[in-house]
Structure 1
Amino acid sequence: MQTVVANGNDEFVVLGKLNSPHGVRGWIRVYSWTTPIDGIFDYPRWTVEVGDSRRCLNVVEGQRHGKGLIARLEGVDSRSDAEELTNARILLPTEALPTLESGEYYWYQLEGLTVSTIDGQSLGTVAWLFETGANDVLVIKGDRERLIPFLPDEVIQDIDLDAGTMTVNWDPDF
């Protein structure tokens, strides 16, 4: 999952986006930022953002298709209906996300945290994260860009969401 989108008092997390139509009956290709990718279908009601407008759509069907996903949404019955949703972002209210165990975090919660070493040297802020297969990697933007593996207890020493900080055991010259 990606960034949080604020809309007044409501906050949404971006689950993915709608790509191009698939066929002529309203199916549309879906790009998912959830892990696993078909976890996006665990949420049967999406807030779909096209430009400045948002609307809620129910997922009628969703499935893997080749290496990707396709979905059929309520009220999207033709290829032209699906074309209108091309590049729309799929949003979910943050309160709809499952509660995590202590020490677990959603990626969007880590983005924007101020990162410093255990010696107190500031490295910058978490710009985004990505997967490598072996472990997740934090991209830290500060005086320069740093890639820091997300390895709790080894590299990541402390995360304080309330304070907006992360402490890492990392050589600032690396």
Structure 2
Amino acid sequence: MNLKNNLVMGIITKTYGVKGWVKIYSYTTPICNIIDYSRLWILEIKGKNIYFKVKHIYLVNRFILVQLNGIKTREKAKAIIGSLIKLPNKILPKLPKGEYYWYQLEKLNVFNKEKKYIGKVNYIFVTGANDVLVVNNKKNSKEYLLPTSVINNVDIIKGIIIVN
């Protein structure tokens, strides 16, 4: 498995009980989507990627409880707190033409229709009305917030987004 093509799907936040269970914070939308993905997780622990099989995973109220194979005590669970949960991006379903996952848009260069450089997508966040691209321009030290509704064209191969 190519470790360079992994998506960060969440983070282990704290222990739960004495039998190695942990609480996680999911970066998926909605948060329960992480339950439907692969049962083989890659945890980034102190800069190293280590594979763990998910033994049990449950949505309880507004948080997710997980028990991983090999983590049977509270002490072992404490050792993985703060670990990023990664999954290979190939597990994601294919999207229809013209739709993209956020990770595909991050780091792309953004231009307006007149081919003027605006900046590079740093990250994306959700508002009530639109998802918003946070675009940084290092040349003029400016940050732009662009709703995804202004996207005219995306070319993943060329690494560019054209906006109105």
Q: What TM-score, normalized to structure 1?
A: 0.86
Q: Deviations over 1:102-155 (max 9, x none)?
A: 11111111001000111111110000001113221100001300111112xxx1
SS of residue paired to 1:82: helix
Aligned equivalents of 2:147, 2:72: Cα separation in 1: 44
Aligned equivalents of 2:81, 2:123: Cα separation in 1: 24
Amino acid at match of 1:17: I
Aligned equivalents of 2:76, 2:29: Cα separation in 1: 28
Aligned equivalents of 1:100, 1:58: Cα separation in 2: 27
1:90 aligns with 2:82: no
Aligned equivalents of 1:166, 1:112: Cα separation in 2: 10
Aligned equivalents of 2:126, 2:64: Cα separation in 1: 19
Deviation at 1:33, TM superposition (A): 0.9
Out of 6, 14, 17, the position equivalent to 1:12 is 6
Deviation at 1:77, TM superposition (A): 1.1
The equivalent residue for 1:160 is 155
Amino acid at match of 1:80: E
4+ residue runs over 3 A deviation: none
The equivalent residue for 2:31 is 37
1:103 aligns with 2:98: yes
Aligned equivalents of 1:21, 1:11: Cα separation in 2: 28
Aligned equivalents of 1:81, 1:49: Cα separation in 2: 15
1:149 aligns with 2:147: yes
Amino acid at match of 1:24: V
Deviation at 1:64, TM superposition (A): 2.1
Out of 130, 134, 141, the position equivalent to 2:129 is 134
Deviation at 1:67, TM superposition (A): 2.2
SS of residue paired to 1:109: helix
Aligned equivalents of 2:32, 2:70: Cα separation in 1: 21
Q: What TM-score, normalized to structure 2?
A: 0.91
Deviation at 1:50, TM superposition (A): 0.3
| CA root-mean-square deviation | 1.4
SS of residue paired to 1:120: coil
Amino acid at match of 2:70: G
How many matched pairs?
Answer: 159
1:63 aligns with 2:58: yes
Give structure 1 stretches of 5+ with no counterpart: 1-5, 170-174
SS of residue paired to 1:38: helix
Deviation at 1:82, TM superposition (A): 0.8
Give structure 2 stretches of 5+ with no counterpart: none
Percent identity, please.
37
